Structure 1
Amino acid sequence: MTLISRRPFRSSALASALLALLALGPGGPLTAPPAMAQTRVPASQAEISLGFAPLVKEATPAVVNIYAKRVVATRQSPFANDPIFSEFFKNFGQVRPQVQNSLGSGVILSDDGYVVSNYHVVGQADEIRVVLNDRREFNAKVLLADENSDLAILRLEGVKDLPHLSLRDSDSVEVGELVLAIGNPFGVGQTVSSGIVSGLARSGTATGSERGYFIQTDAPINPGNSGGALIDVNGDLIGVNTSILSRSGGSNGIGFAIPAALVRQFLDQSRAGNDHFERPWAGMSGHPVDLDMAEASGLDRPEGMVIDALHAESPFANNGFKPGDIILAVDGKPISSPAEMVYRMTVTGLGGQAVVTRLSGGTRKDISVPMIVAPEDPARDPLKTGEETAVPGMTLININPAVINEFQLQLSARGVMIEEPGRIGQRAGLRAGDTILSINGTDIDTPQTADAALRNPGRTLELSLLRDGKTATMRFRL
């Protein structure tokens, strides 16, 4: 994967001012300047007074305000706010359309109108309006959105020669770097806050899911800044602001930004025409190495992720990995959790080869593993049960690696899964993701077998299901 390289300082005065803030104290020099800021000492008080102004002036035109509108169907029920009757009468009342509005920020990534924002800002919007810093307004459409990563790529209509930010390789970001958080909260105008990178490899702590992987900053992220830019002192984008952990609910707290390396993958896939984001498939489960396991494996400290299970078609299984092996690094970057493993594979990109460092039997070895999507083998072969069956309108599919990955099933899952339970099935307690093991004692291995068993079940229907790793039996009188 190739990222746009960092540009040199564009303002010697700005560089000098930043250096002064870091290196000068009331009595003289405090510390040596950092390696990344190899510039001269400020020559005048005027240079020191410049602060971040030149950087802000150059970066803010690429940060936009986003207005998103979504129309949803809601029921107006007199029991909606009642703690007891709201559940019993949740389907009571007239269905009426209701408009939901959201407000956030975005960052222009290219001169031809590609914009990145958060999924929770635009992911399900029906209408999107983007307002630039110079007050120009454009319609936009979502090209690619992913709830797990909380990222979305938009395309502005009828634009050219837009100001934009370059993506920096976020793996080169270091704790302690000066950063600015820029956004356009609530449409009142852009705000800029400063701070430092206070942490890296923060996973599962902000908006998103177990796939989350974030840059942590103490730069205040104001409400409404979701989707805004986190930039370095060169004006390069290192992350997209996504959330803040705050006891008060305000902007004072710990901010999180999605790394630019992941943004690059979204941009590349949207340019390639993908309508959903695809990640490389590991086909494995694992957990972090603890102190006892580290000592037993000859490690001087806990590091890496131990493999618990592997799917038979996993690219790791096909390259000699087995349960009990410890994965220490991907492409030379150390990992310590499944979330980091997923992130490192994702930023490597589909179609590439990741060099994975494995510890097995006390021996370390670097192994190249292809980055592939989860296979659709066997084909899903969806089947919708007819009205003459015991559970009409239910959609059944074959389980394959892609289905396992999409619905987060156990790696050992086989057979037939309920993709959509239908109206009757939902009332009966069936859920999307349930695996059907048997119907009235007949083992189920294909959607056709299930459909046949549901056509003549007799006076009772007995379903044996696998849900969340546990087996359950449901019986119905017909």
Structure 2
Amino acid sequence: IRDADEIVVRLSDRSEFRAKVVGADVRTDVAVLRIQPSGKLPVATLGDSSRLKVGEFAIAVGNPFGLESTVTLGVVSATGRSAEPDIEGGDDFIQTDASINPGNSGGPLLNARGEVVGINTAMVTAGQGIGFAIPINTVRSVEQDLVAHGAVRRGWLGLGIQGLTPELAEAFGAKGEKGILVNRVVPGSPAQRGGVRMGDILVAFGKARVSGVKEFQRLVAGTAPGTPVTLEVLREGKRVAATLTVEEAEKQASVRRPLPREPVDPLGMAVRAVPKHLLREMELRGGVEVTFVETASPAWDGGVREGDVLLSINRETVRGLDDYRKAVSRLPRGRPAFALVYREGIQLYVALKSR
């Protein structure tokens, strides 16, 4: 429906109705349309996608390549699946091997009882038998928001997060702990006002334990704006509670990429100063740019790559080359450490171990 001048809904009896857009959600690729038929229409029965089991039958209906009312049969291959990065809809797809082709998008995915459990949305063009559908429970939630508000209201805390690897957990003094790592706190956000800091390890959102990035993102997005929540965090070996109020998600700023290269080091990488105009463009106060990383070096093994901008090492801010050299010289030999880097518009921590 995007950029459409006119939308026409055609039913199975070939009757047509002009439709009005009630609301649309780009993130899930779902829209609600309103038509005005003269009488009642038959409606499909909606199922419960949370009860789907891998291996049960899945039936896809649609108009692939213009072939109307085509039905294909397969099974549920997986649930909670992430699709290809360029497919809209998030990371909670139903994967099926029921044939989904161009023209199937928007058609129902049914279970063996004829209940709609998903909306067909995409396929993997590089393979066969790999299609995706948006779970009907997600569609229901989106539909309610679109009808009530014309848009989907998602929660937002203003945090940049990443997975907590065993190496990072050890470097942050939280060996064996499960959680996610905060690598950015947006100024003026609920997270900043609630006292969350970079380097905190989030272990619980309210009463729910947190073990992964996607899980945490779903918890936050599914929380109504205005709801107070308590985060349990690990900070320098201590458990801290941060209470904050969820706000409505803001539109993401366009991703900016750091620009390339130049100079040298014992961690196995070469760095150079970043020109001030590039720092302004990337909205950074300082840092050094990585121009070369030696394979099998501490920097490479820790995840540092060419083009990264190093912002801090072991909580020591790196504003330029002098700060960087001092921070490297103070790294404890043979012991785990960590660095904060800027990469393709986001900040993340990497683990380092000086030789």
Q: Distance in 2 between matches of 1:363 and 1:134?
A: 66
Aligned residues of 2:232 and 2:241 also touching (Cα < 8 A):
yes
TM-score w.r.t. the length of structure 2 is 0.60
**1:160 Cα deviation (Å)?**
5.1
Residue 345 (structure 1) aligns with? 220
Q: Distance in 1 between matches of 2:73 and 2:194?
A: 46
Q: Secondary structure at the match of 1:344?
A: helix
CA offset digits 1:1-34 (Å, max 9, x no partner):
xxxxxxxxxxxxxxxxxxxxxxxxxxxxxxxxxx
Instruction: Describe how 1:231-242 pairs up with structure 2 within 5 A.
Output: 231-242=110-121
CA offset digits 1:353-385 (Å, max 9, x no partner):
6676655556778877543215xxxxxxxxxxx
**Matched AA of 2:7:** I
1:279 to 147, 154, 174: 154
Residue 100 (structure 2) aligns with? 221
Instruction: Describe how 1:192-341 pairs up with structure 2 within 5 A.
Output: 192-203=71-82, 205=84, 207-208=86-87, 211-247=90-126, 252-274=128-150, 276-294=151-169, 297-299=174-176, 304-328=179-203, 332=208, 336-337=212-213, 339-341=214-216
CA offset digits 1:73-99 (Å, max 9, x no partner):
xxxxxxxxxxxxxxxxxxxxxxxxxxx
**1:291 Cα deviation (Å)?**
3.2
Name whichever structure is richer in helix by fraction.
1
Residue 126 (structure 1) aligns with? 5
Q: Secondary structure at the match of 1:293?
A: helix
Q: Distance in 1 between matches of 2:219 and 2:174?
A: 23
Aligned residues of 1:147 and 1:208 also touching (Cα < 8 A):
no
**Matched AA of 1:164:** V
Q: Distance in 2 between matches of 1:202 and 1:128?
A: 31
**Matched AA of 1:269:** D
Aligned residues of 2:65 and 2:101 also touching (Cα < 8 A):
no
**Matched AA of 2:184:** A
Q: Distance in 2 between matches of 1:299 and 1:305?
A: 13
Q: Distance in 2 between matches of 1:362 and 1:185?
A: 56
The change in CA–CA distance for 1:239 and 1:206 in structure 2 (over 3 A counts) is farther
Instruction: Describe how 1:109-124 pairs up with structure 2 within 5 A.
Output: 122-124=1-3
Aligned residues of 2:56 and 2:75 also touching (Cα < 8 A):
yes
Query: What is the aligned residue count?
Result: 262
1:407 to 234, 241, 253: 253
1:148 to 23, 27, 37: 27
**1:243 Cα deviation (Å)?**
0.6
Residue 185 (structure 1) aligns with? 64
The change in CA–CA distance for 1:436 and 1:143 in structure 2 (over 3 A counts) is same
The change in CA–CA distance for 1:238 and 1:335 in structure 2 (over 3 A counts) is farther
The change in CA–CA distance for 1:309 and 1:210 in structure 2 (over 3 A counts) is farther
**Matched AA of 2:30:** L
CA offset digits 1:98-141 (Å, max 9, x no partner):
xxxxxxxxxxxxxxxxxxxxxxxx22211111122233322112
The change in CA–CA distance for 1:297 and 1:172 in structure 2 (over 3 A counts) is farther
Aligned residues of 1:265 and 1:349 also touching (Cα < 8 A):
no
The change in CA–CA distance for 1:206 and 1:221 in structure 2 (over 3 A counts) is farther
Q: Secondary structure at the match of 1:227?
A: coil
CA offset digits 1:262-284 (Å, max 9, x no partner):
3223211221142x444222211
Q: Secondary structure at the match of 2:134?
A: strand
CA offset digits 1:155-199 (Å, max 9, x no partner):
123365333345545444443343222223344321222333322
Aligned residues of 1:228 and 1:241 also touching (Cα < 8 A):
yes
**1:307 Cα deviation (Å)?**
1.1
Q: Distance in 2 between matches of 1:190 and 1:167?
A: 19
The change in CA–CA distance for 1:210 and 1:242 in structure 2 (over 3 A counts) is closer
CA RMSD of aligned residues (A): 3.9
Aligned residues of 2:89 and 2:134 also touching (Cα < 8 A):
no
**Structure with bigger RCO (C-alpha 8 Å, 6+ apart):** 2
The change in CA–CA distance for 1:163 and 1:317 in structure 2 (over 3 A counts) is farther
Q: Secondary structure at the match of 1:269?
A: helix
Q: Is 1:372 equivalent to 2:247 in the alignment?
A: yes
Q: Where in structure 1 are there 5+ consecutive unaligned residues?
A: 1-121, 375-401, 411-433, 438-467, 471-478
**1:285 Cα deviation (Å)?**
0.8
Residue 42 (structure 2) aligns with? 163
The change in CA–CA distance for 1:140 and 1:335 in structure 2 (over 3 A counts) is farther
**1:225 Cα deviation (Å)?**
0.4
* Percent of matched pairs sharing the same residue: 35
The change in CA–CA distance for 1:308 and 1:159 in structure 2 (over 3 A counts) is farther
Aligned residues of 2:180 and 2:211 also touching (Cα < 8 A):
yes
**1:149 Cα deviation (Å)?**
2.7
Instruction: Describe how 1:9-88 pairs up with structure 2 within 5 A.
Output: none
Residue 381 (structure 1) aligns with? none
Aligned residues of 2:29 and 2:89 also touching (Cα < 8 A):
no
The change in CA–CA distance for 1:239 and 1:159 in structure 2 (over 3 A counts) is farther
Q: Distance in 1 between matches of 2:75 and 2:237?
A: 39
Larger Rg: 1
**Matched AA of 2:70:** T
The change in CA–CA distance for 1:436 and 1:216 in structure 2 (over 3 A counts) is closer
Aligned residues of 1:146 and 1:152 also touching (Cα < 8 A):
yes
Q: Distance in 2 between matches of 1:261 and 1:348?
A: 16
Aligned residues of 1:123 and 1:147 also touching (Cα < 8 A):
no
The change in CA–CA distance for 1:323 and 1:256 in structure 2 (over 3 A counts) is same
Q: Distance in 1 between matches of 2:225 and 2:99?
A: 35
